[in-house]
Structure 1
């Protein structure tokens, strides 16, 4: 075989291999059987390459995965195992094959694919960065560099010649060689000993400002006692004046007239009552239009009044337009409307008769469908009865078969009981195994407990150190002096910063402006309410007029309904409708008759399964009694055998 066929054979076998289901050795042995027609050298090459690709699959997939990530979706996933084979030959077999034989294998394959893969793989930039980093996760970094990276870099110059030949084969000409860059070798850090930190300089103690003098208002006596003294003096003066007035007018109590105080109280009560009765004065504008009352029998809300008023206005406009057309010479369509009404009544009568006929025909077809369904159910019931009889026969045969199997099982149980007489040695051996397992588990628990104790002690030490640090922070002194001045800002350096006094002044101005706006809004709402009330009263008059007209229209509509009921009575007297009603009654009688026959058949069928069921239950009871007697007999035989053996040993 030539080189191309050998590589294809290896790729095919690698595609067939399933790592989670097959073993490498068994798979290679089966592959050797399929390769009997080839020479021994070809067989050795295929088997060695296949075995190497499977064992180093994880190592080789690193290169292929990076290669597919670099080129994206340009390459097909079918050629994945082909690139794995070529990668294995380049890494592990290049020294043994030689450059001549390796180039012959590469040239026999697809030139464009091999050119892409080899130019990517033997690039010094890719080898020393991505690929070396991923290989270092699998093996030690020193081993990766000495065993694979360094030999592959040595072959780069010869691989470049092979790439030029592949490029000529593709028709692109010789590609410019890439200058091989030297890989950077890491150097150790030259760490010097850190310098000893100098002692921190002591902080300068800030000088405190001179305290402000105490204001005069602090030691001033309060004003409340002075105010109380003034109130007390004024009350004494009033009491003296009242006493003098009472002494001077001591006979005025006999006067029947009411005092001024009583008259003032009575006038206040009367004014409050008048104010309660005149609660609508606030919203009245004084015009006679707004002093109208609601003459409707039902109270309506605002939305209903406006909606009904708009409807009546629209109807009024339509009536005015009709009268205008009549005044301009248009004819009154009363004769045409009368003829149209008569024709509509005639069409309605015919349509009602047709609808009644269709309804009766639908009922008749429904009854026929019910009868047909009952016939189908009777046939199915007959078939089901036959299948039930067959299943009863099969169950009888199955019960007999189960009796035979139970007898065979009893014989097997007897044989097994005879073979388990000498089981004491096995129990002792099992006990020893359990004791050994318990001992091993206790040792493992002891080790785990010691490890947990060490972890707890380390955690406790860490917490103690943290507590010491927190206490050291808490022991530091803190300056808690705080002086507040309402006229000075807080000093946060904000654009909108202001003092407390300025803030209070701004809030008062804002509150006054809001009160002004609220008062304006209240006045505007009051005016709107007055306009709205006037509009509603006008609409109520219009609604009362229109409702009287609507009552007349309802009277006319009731007359039309009476005429329609007379039309329906005429439809029910139609001969075709009567004939269809008669056929419907016949179908319903036939359905009722079949239903009674079906119920009688069901009662007869319920009697038969009860007899079959009773016979099966009797057979099962006989079988169970026989089974328990056999078990008791075998237990007695075993007890007698054990008793005889114990007597012999004694």
Structure 2
């Protein structure tokens, strides 16, 4: 019998899983399940369907228990066992009086013993505490106490015996694993064979819809690839330019002293890194002063004022409803909510401590990187000093070589100057002959230009005279005399024909009538607007009173939050891990200061040595000065020769 009850519960678990996975109506699902279970015994089928429908009907009550159970024991439970716990909770709460303790014990023993023992212990441990409170929020408290809590408390001694049996089986199962005994299952004697199920009607084959045409964008290359290609080309060009510049100025790296601009950039980078490391700081920002709001008032229109009135009315109704609920006996936050709030505060404290620890770790790693950077700079300075000495030696050798070449070039220039003295006279004669030819050509061209100018001036004066004559003819007056009487009609013999004077009088009369109508409308509009303004002023006063009350409540609430945040900051600051990290950070800072002092002392000694070396080498010329003097000497020699 126990195995039979266990199989029925497993079948109910499968049906409940199908119902929760799909979105089918409960009645349709029960009908389909009854068709699938028509070969089963009527009592067994009724038991399965009643369990599934009861679990669905009382889903809210059962989810209250099962959700919290999974929240506390979800680490070693699987989501597939949820329906199993829902059915056990339904049987013990609603059906225990009907099925009896023996059958319920058989059902529990047919399932996993450890899971059943844990669930029953959890259920009866919290039955009269938060489970009863949550059920009271869903149904009436008197109904819950009479229908469910009372019967469960009467069954509590028998359930404790069942739990002791389960605990004993668990301990025995852990020590010695029993070999399962195979039992024979009786088969029912079937008198008549059941009729075969009729073949279902074939469903209509749905016609395939026409495929949508492929959009044109499928055959086009995306613009992003072209943009990426252009960016790559620009970056490649920039890298070539930077490489050429680096090759041209490769000896500048021998200068150990950094420029002022480089120091400013490094200081800015260091400042940005420090600001990035100071995340989630606990310094609360000051609230905005009230003077700003007074100096900058907000002007509200009529719709905004009416919206504020509706909001005020809705808040008043909500507060009245809350007070009515409290007078009727409804409680405030339960003990479970208070426990949940305390746990959240603890989690927040842990999270803030971890954030502060990560911030200090980041600053420590930053200081370690600064120390490593100082060591690397010292090694680079040594290498650059060696490179500078090698380049100075090469420049000296180059200067000596240029001096030798200058002597050879001076001798060659003297030889060339002697050969050019004879050709100087021939060049002067050729220059004088060319000047005479140019003078003759310029005189002839000036005569031709003078003649063309005289002809153009004569043509222009003739055209100007004809234009004056035409304008004089056009300026003669045309005398036109016309007499017109305003009181006479046009003489078209029409019925509504009027003279101009009569037409003006009628139009003036219509204009006066229209002005009187407009004046009446204007007075009516002014009266309506005046009433509306008075109504809006009253609403503004009420809204201001409401806003002042809300501001006072918000200030009190903000003060409480500020005190809570200060307490939390003090707790985080007193954490052992944070104190240890701060101590380590101070040690790293002291080490960095020590290395910087050593570096500054070395830099001062190096400056002194460079000054002494500069005073010694003032008399000796550098390679660049030698090259400039050589070029000047060559220019002077060439000028003297020519």
Regarding TM over 0.5, the answer is no
The structure with the larger Rg is 1
Q: Tell me: higher relative CO, structure 1 or 2? Use CA pairs within 8 A at least 6 residues apart.
A: 2
The alignment's TM-score, normalised by the length of structure 1, stands at 0.44
TM-score norm. by structure 2 comes to: 0.44
